[in-house]
Amino acid sequence: MTEPIRQKGFVIHPGFLDRAAQDALVVRLREVLDNAPLFTPRTRRGPMSVRMSAAGAYGWISDTRGYRYDARHPDGLVWPPIPDEVTAIWNAVSGCTRAPECCLINWYDSAARMGLHRDEDEADLSCPVVSVSLGDDALFRTGNVARGGRTESIWLKSGDVVVMGGAARLAHHGVDRIRFGSSTLLPNGGRINLTLRVVT
Give per-residue pLDDT as tens, 61-105: 877 777 789 999 988 999 999 999 999 999 999 999 999 999 999
pLDDT of residue 92: 97
pLDDT of residue 1: 62
The response to whether 117 counts as a known ligand-binding position is yes
Backbone angles phi, psi at 172, to 5 degrees: -70, 145
pTM: 0.93
The response to whether 13 counts as a known ligand-binding position is no
* Cβ atoms of residues 30 and 38 within 8 Å: no
* Overall domain count for the chain: 1
pLDDT of residue 19: 98
pLDDT of residue 82: 98
Residue range(s) defining the domain that contains residue 86: 5-197
Convert the pLDDT of each residue in 26-44 to its tens digit: 999 999 999 999 998 877 7
Helix (H, G, I), strand (E, B) or coil at 51: strand
Tell me how far apart the alpha carbons of residues 186 and 125 are, in angstroms, rounded to a whole number.
33
Q: Give percent above pLDDT 90 in the chain.
A: 72
The response to whether 2 counts as a known ligand-binding position is no
Convert the pLDDT of each residue in 110-119 to its tens digit: 888 888 888 8
Amino acid identity of residue 100, one-letter, is P
The response to whether 147 counts as a known ligand-binding position is yes
* Averaged pLDDT for residues 120-135: 95
The response to whether 144 counts as a known ligand-binding position is no
**What CATH number does the domain containing 170 carry?**
2.60.120.590
